[in-house]
Amino acid sequence: MRIYVCGVRGSTPSPGQAFVRYGGNTSCLALAIDEGPPALVLDAGTGLQRLSPLLDGRAFRGSILLSHLHWDHTHGLPFFAAGDRSDAQVTLLMPAQGDPTNVLARAMSPPHFPIKPSELRGKWRFLGIQEGPRTVEGFEVLAREIPHKGGLTYGYRVTGGGATIAYLSDHSPIALGPGPAGLGTYHPAAVQLARSADLLIHDGQLVQSQFAEWAPFGHSAVEYAIGLAETAGARRLLLFHHDPARTDDQIDAIVAAHRDGSVPVEAAAEGSVIELG
Ligand SMILES: [Zn+2]
Ligand SMILES: [Zn+2]
C-alpha cells in the first residue's frame, strides 16, 4: 500500500512560513495498491487539490471515503481538478444520514458556494454507507462510528496491498469518561479499528495540557492517541489533524517528547509518501 499524504491539518488551512514543513492543507490521504495510481481517497479537505498533479494528467477514477462532513473534510471537493472533468468517474461514500446529495449541498450550494455537488463534471455517485465491512476499489474497508462532535463520524480500517491502516482523523473519547490517563477511555470501536494495524493515523490536535479546555470540541490529545496505539497493538502511530496554530517547530517538539515510547510516533507531513507492506 502506498499512501500519498495530501493534507494533514485540522479545522482550517494554515498558510505561512511557520507551517511549510508539515503543511497547511486540511485532511486528505490518497491510497494506491502496489504501483497503480491512487484510487481510494480518505477525506476531501483542501489537500485534495494535491491529488490531481499525482495523476499525470489523467482523470480520477475511484472512490472518496468521507469520515464526516465538517468543512475541513469536504472543502476540497469543488477544487479537485482531476475529479471535476467530463471523463472523471467518482464514487463518494459518506456516513449515511438522509439523501447524501442533499446533505452535502447544505454546505455546497448557493448562497454558500456557486455550484452544487450534482454540478461537478464527470460521473459522480453519492452514497451513504452504514457501519460494517465492504470492498472499495480493491481495499477491504471496515467503517465504525467513533465519538466526535457535531455530526455522525466514522473511523475506517483499510486493508490492501499487504498492509492495514486505521484512520481516525477526528475523535474525542470525552463522552466515555476520564479513562486511564484522564484523557478518556479507549472506545471499543476505536480499539477494534486500530487492532494490530501497521499504521494508526489518529487525531493529534491537542496535547494533554489543553485537553480539559478543548476536549468539548471533539478532538484527542496526542497522549490519548499513543495510549490507544499501545492498547490496540498498532505498530506505528501517525499524528494527524494538527491544530491549525501548531507550528512546525511545535510539532517537532511533540514528536521528540514521545520518541522513546513503545510505539514509534511520527507526525503526518503533507507531500510525503508512506509505503507499507
Ligand atoms: Zn476535522
Ligand atoms: Zn470534525
- pLDDT tens sequence across 133-173: 999 999 999 999 999 999 999 999 999 999 999 999 999 88
Distance of CA 149 from the midpoint of ligand 1 (Å): 10
b/e sequence 137-163, b meaning 16+ C-beta within 10 Å? bebebbbbebbbbeebbbbbbbbbbeb
Distance of CA 10 from the midpoint of ligand 2 (Å): 8
Q: How high does pLDDT run on average in the chain? A: 95
Cβ(51)–Cβ(31) under 8 Å? no
Distance of CA 73 from the midpoint of ligand 2 (Å): 7
**pLDDT tens, 208-257?**
888 888 878 889 999 999 999 999 999 999 999 999 999 999 999 999 99
Distance of CA 9 from the midpoint of ligand 2 (Å): 11
- Quote the CA–CA distance of 155 and 86 in Å, as a whole number: 31
Find, among 191, 170, 167, 162, the residue nearest to 179 by Cα. 191
Whether the per-residue pLDDT at 35 is higher than 90: the answer is no
**pTM for the whole thing?**
0.96
- The ligand that comes nearest to the alpha carbon of residue 241 is 1
Provide the pLDDT for residue 72. 98
Rg (CA), the chain: 17
Distance of CA 58 from the midpoint of ligand 2 (Å): 31
Distance of CA 149 from the midpoint of ligand 2 (Å): 7
Distance of CA 46 from the midpoint of ligand 1 (Å): 11
Could you tell me the domains of the chain? 2-275 (3.60.15.10)
- Quote the CA–CA distance of 222 and 246 in Å, as a whole number: 13
- The ligand that comes nearest to the alpha carbon of residue 146 is 2
Distance of CA 44 from the midpoint of ligand 1 (Å): 11
Residues within 5 Å of ion ligand 2 by Cβ?
70, 170
